[in-house]
């Protein structure tokens, strides 16, 4: 855990250095190989690349635009929060690494496939392969979509196993009983009946009479409930 924390701090310092000292554009000299992607942070055995940061930035911009910002406003806001975006990517990598340590990779991949298959069924598409082909035709990258799902499911799984389970399942029966006894009022709820719908036919009937009958039925139910509480 200490090494991960150190990696996180170094990653953020490294990010700051990149944001301050790297020029906005780097032109490859004639005869030199052009860099397609760059590593901007390393977290244990994994890396965060410039393309990952750009993809995250693009998604944030689109989200802000949907919230009412203009393209320029959204872009400027995201630029101001570049360090936060990279910190988010670092945290995601740490959670993914923890998920691998907990041997959750196969479970997560099965859940990704299940969700993709659910989407395919909703769209009337028989297989995941055909769904991915349809996504490509629509300009949606199925690989990026899978990765997004993978990250979110892995984060949820790690948090559930490392936090929720330890909090809720680590308590003994004596501890649970002691808490219940000290907070009994919080677990008490008076009986109630909620009528969401009463259907009465109105064909060849007076509407006012039907409404009156409905109110009468409601009153009868309320009376039964009061009697049951005595």
Q: Residue 168's pLDDT band (boundaries 50, 70, 90)?
A: low
Predicted local confidence at residue 196, as pLDDT: 59
Q: Which of 188, 184, 191, 185 is nearest to 229 (CA)?
A: 191
- Write down the pLDDT at residue 77: 92
pLDDT score of 152 more than 70: yes
- What local confidence, expressed as pLDDT, does residue 179 receive? 79
What is the mean pLDDT of the segment spanning 12-34? Answer: 44
When pLDDT is averaged across residues 95-102 and rounded to a whole number, the result is 85
Question: How confident is the model at residue 73, as a pLDDT?
Answer: 92
Any idea which of 12-21, 105-114, 128-137, 150-159 has the lowest mean pLDDT? 12-21
Of the two residues 19 and 222, the one the predictor is more confident about is 222
pLDDT, tens digit (0-9, with 9 covering 90-100), for 190-219:
666 666 566 666 666 777 777 787 788 777
In this predicted structure, what is the pLDDT of residue 182?
85
Give the chain's mean pLDDT. Answer: 76
Got the DSSP string for 156-196?
A: HHHHIIIIIHHHHHSS-HHHHHHHHHHTHHHH---------
* Alpha carbon distance 204, 177 (integer Å): 59
Long-range contacts of 185-191 (CB under 8 A, 24+ apart): 190/229, 191/225, 191/228, 191/229
């Amino acid at each position: 855990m200490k090494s991960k924390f150190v990696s996180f701090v170094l990653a953020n310092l490294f990010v700051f250095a990149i944001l301050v000292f790297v020029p906005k554009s780097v032109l490859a000299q004639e005869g030199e190989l052009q860099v397609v992607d760059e590593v901007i942070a390393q977290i244990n055995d994994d890396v965060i690349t410039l393309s990952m940061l750009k993809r995250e930035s693009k998604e944030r911009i689109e989200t802000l635009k949907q919230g009412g910002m203009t393209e320029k406003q959204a872009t400027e806001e995201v630029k101001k929060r570049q360090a936060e975006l990279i910190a988010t990517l670092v945290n995601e990598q740490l959670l993914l690494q923890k998920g691998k340590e907990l041997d959750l990779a196969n479970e997560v991949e099965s859940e990704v496939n299940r969700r993709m298959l659910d989407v395919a069924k909703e769209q009337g598409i028989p297989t995941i392969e055909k769904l991915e082909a349809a996504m490509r035709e629509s300009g949606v990258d199925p690989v990026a979509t899978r990765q997004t799902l993978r990250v979110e499911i892995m984060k949820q799984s790690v948090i559930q196993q490392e936090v929720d389970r330890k909090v809720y399942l680590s308590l003994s029966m004596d501890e649970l009983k002691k808490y219940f006894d000290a907070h009994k009022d919080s677990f008490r709820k008076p009986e109630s009946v909620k009528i969401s719908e009463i259907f009465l036919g109105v064909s060849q009937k007076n509407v006012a009479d039907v409404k009156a009958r409905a109110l009468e039925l409601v009153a009868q139910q309320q009376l039964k409930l009061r009697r049951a509480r005595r």
